Amino acid sequence: MHPTNLEPEPAVTTLHADDIWHGGVIDTLDRDHPAGEAIAVKDGRVLAVGRDADILNLAGPDTRRHALGGKFLMPGLVESHAHALWGACRDLFDVFVGYGASFEELMAAVKQRAAALPTGGLVYGGPWRLDMRERMGASPRETLDAIAPAHAVVLHDVTQHSLWCNSLALQQGGIDNTSPDVPGGVIERHPASGEPNGILAENACRPIKQLMERTHAQLDEAARYFVAYFNRLGITAFKEPMAYEPDLRAYKAADERGELTLHAAAHLTRSSPFTPDGVPYETLEEWRRAYASPNLRTGFAKLFLDGVAPSLTASFLEPYLPETGYDAASHDPDATLLIAPGELNDTVSELDRRGFVVKMHAVGDNAVRAGLNAIEAARTRNGPSGLRHEIAHCPFVQDSDVPRFAALGAIAEVSPKIWFPNPATAAQVAVLGRERTERCHRIKDLLTAGAQVTYASDWPAAAPDANPWIGLAGMISRRDPTGRFAGTLGAGQAIALDQAMPIFTINGARSLGMEADTGSLAPGKWADFIILDQPLAKLTPEQIGTTEVVETRWKGRCVFER
């Protein structure tokens, strides 16, 4: 990946650069002119990239010169799926003990937070893992009652698709002995009494989630927090994958205050486990018009097709392991789809007709297939729209579906960061088996088949942080770059660094519809770039995982400096 071609020479121009960075190693991610030593910027956009001598000729009396001293300069990173406000609120306001915490540490944190809140307040946070279930007891809600009897307690699991609630939280959510089973959801019950035991999954979480609305002040604080966090990590563009009106209001307000120093796009939620009924198309149209702003793009929509494997709610063609208690004999792959195939085809076709780029949460291979079928239906009904619809996460894809991404012009978003051993791996193996788990995240196969692949952390759902460098390191090694979890996961799907870099840059820009403006460094594009101490090609995967950005520039403006 180390740049060697120092072309092109800058075009003849009388313009003087506002800023010039020189004496470095530049990887432009521009296929035509991949490398340089210096870059000139004018009015926030790239003026030229090339040899030091040529670029320094663009300096005028007022040009600011920045000596790189051999440092490495590359485009800013694009995060294609991060619940930014949600993650910031977690860090700022919630209980969070980390994904590797013990059961005792989680219980102690809940007890401490309850002691600090007025009686009747809500303790929210987590996460808990599948391996903690035995410690929760026969009635998990009573376990929480014992440590916080005067507070509603709601704890999410590592996937954010299941909740553990105490009795007061269930009561406030209107869930009791008379509550019926929920289509597309799970209310676990005590085997003897039939009472809800406090564990909820997918659609059954809706009434509890409604207890946890954030205030405008909290969302404004969260916006400032995540922007600073992303810029520090070298992220200059991102996509919010599940936006409701309060989120859109907060993003637009941050942009109007001049605080959204990122290119952003928001997928407006049409359906999710937390939405009792689909948001009307007319409402999505209103949100798209009302909340679009210079740095916030709103022509995107979100659908949920299934859940997650540990809660047995992901939609697989093959049944879950019988050891889980799953009834393999009556297995129906479509039974776990949150949207029936015919309705899904109609929905994606209508969103496509209205000009929305659709992102579909799909974990199981049957859900991925259903999403691809829906995109195919939209292409058949509407003709080529030019919209690159996305299958989010894509951990499990059947052989016959791998080439369909390129054929349909669909994006394979690889997310979350579980393509290397991590705290969730044991839960995956427990319900799917080792062999099927090893087939996850077929990134190499997708690239070989010509699919456009994008990177996403899915922070804070199933990812403890939004750090892209750990994700990059794990993608090229299929090992945990932190060394906390041994071994590999799907080792045959490891890819080279030069294959991975477009996934984190130009491919992400293309998914935002901004490939003409960012994602690579070429004349006329925004000057969105980061400076690192040395070229990534000189580093081991473990060293890449510890990368710290020296400086982040967005539209030529310094938005982070170490």
Question: Helices 468-477 and 497-504 sit at what angle, rounded to 10 degrees?
Answer: 150
Question: What is the mean pLDDT of the segment spanning 531-560?
Answer: 98
Residue of 328, 304, 306, 305 whose CA lies nearest to 431: 328
Whether the per-residue pLDDT at 277 is higher than 80: the answer is: no
Question: What is the mean pLDDT of the segment spanning 78-94?
Answer: 95
**Token code pair at residue 125:** 């946070």
CB under 8 Å to 301, separation ≥6 — which residues?
267, 268, 269, 270, 284, 351, 356, 357, 358, 359
Give percent of the chain above pLDDT 70: 97
In this prediction, residue 15 carries a pLDDT of 83
| Residue 328 vs residues 65, 145, 322, 324, 486: alpha-carbon distances, Å | 67, 35, 6, 10, 32
Whether the per-residue pLDDT at 158 is higher than 50: the answer is: yes
In this prediction, residue 276 carries a pLDDT of 61
User: How many Å apart are CA 307 and CA 81, to the nearest integer?
Assistant: 16
Whether the per-residue pLDDT at 12 is higher than 60: the answer is: no
In this prediction, residue 145 carries a pLDDT of 94
The pLDDT tens digits for 451-467 are 999 999 999 987 889 99
| Phi, psi values for residue 161, rounded to 5° | -105, -5
pTM value is: 0.89
The pLDDT tens digits for 293-323 are 999 999 999 999 999 998 899 999 999 999 9
Cα angle: 33, vertex 39, 44; to 5 degrees: 110
Residue of 189, 169, 370, 184 whose CA lies nearest to 273: 184
| Residue 544 vs residues 16, 17, 204, 458, 476: alpha-carbon distances, Å | 36, 32, 40, 20, 10
| Residue 220 vs residues 236, 277, 305: alpha-carbon distances, Å | 19, 28, 31
Range list of H helices, 59-194: 84-93, 103-116, 133-136, 140-147, 167-172
Model confidence band, residue 184 (pLDDT cutoffs 50, 70, 90): confident
In this prediction, residue 178 carries a pLDDT of 87
In this prediction, residue 14 carries a pLDDT of 58
The helix or strand, by DSSP H or E, that contains position 454, with its residue range, turns out to be strand 452-455
Residue of 531, 9, 479 whose CA lies nearest to 236: 531
Give percent of the chain above pLDDT 90: 85
Q: What is the DSSP string of 107-127?
A: HHHHHHHHHHS-TTPEEEEEE
CATH 3.20.20.140 maps onto the chain at 269-517
The pLDDT tens digits for 358-411 are 999 999 999 999 999 999 999 999 999 999 999 999 999 999 999 999 999 999
- The alpha carbons of the chain give a radius of gyration, in whole angstroms, of 24
Kindly give the pairing relationship between strand 196-202 and strand 162-165. Answer: antiparallel
Kindly give the pairing relationship between strand 357-362 and strand 296-304. Answer: parallel
Q: What is the DSSP string of 367-402?
A: HHHHHHHHHHHHHHHH-------EEEE-----GGGT
Whether the per-residue pLDDT at 497 is higher than 50: the answer is: yes
Average pLDDT of the chain?
Answer: 94
Whether the per-residue pLDDT at 11 is higher than 60: the answer is: no
| CATH number for the domain whose boundaries are 269-517 | 3.20.20.140
In this prediction, residue 6 carries a pLDDT of 53
The pLDDT tens digits for 95-143 are 999 888 999 999 999 999 999 999 988 999 999 998 898 999 989 999 9
The pLDDT tens digits for 194-233 are 899 999 988 888 888 878 889 999 999 999 999 999 999 9
Q: What is the DSSP string of 12-72?
A: P--PPPSEEEESSEEE---SSS-EESEEEEETTEEEEEE-HHHHHTT--TT-EEEE-TT-E
The pLDDT tens digits for 38-77 are 999 999 999 999 999 999 999 999 999 999 999 999 999 9
In this prediction, residue 3 carries a pLDDT of 45
Kindly give the pairing relationship between strand 390-393 and strand 411-414. Answer: parallel
The β-bridge partners of 41 are 19, 46
Model confidence band, residue 4 (pLDDT cutoffs 50, 70, 90): very low
User: For domain 101-212, is the CATH number 3.30.70.20?
Assistant: no
In this prediction, residue 202 carries a pLDDT of 84
CATH 3.10.310.70 maps onto the chain at 101-212
Residue of 523, 517, 521 whose CA lies nearest to 10: 523
Q: 4-18, 43-57, 507-521: which range is least confident on average?
A: 4-18
The pLDDT tens digits for 141-157 are 999 999 999 999 999 99
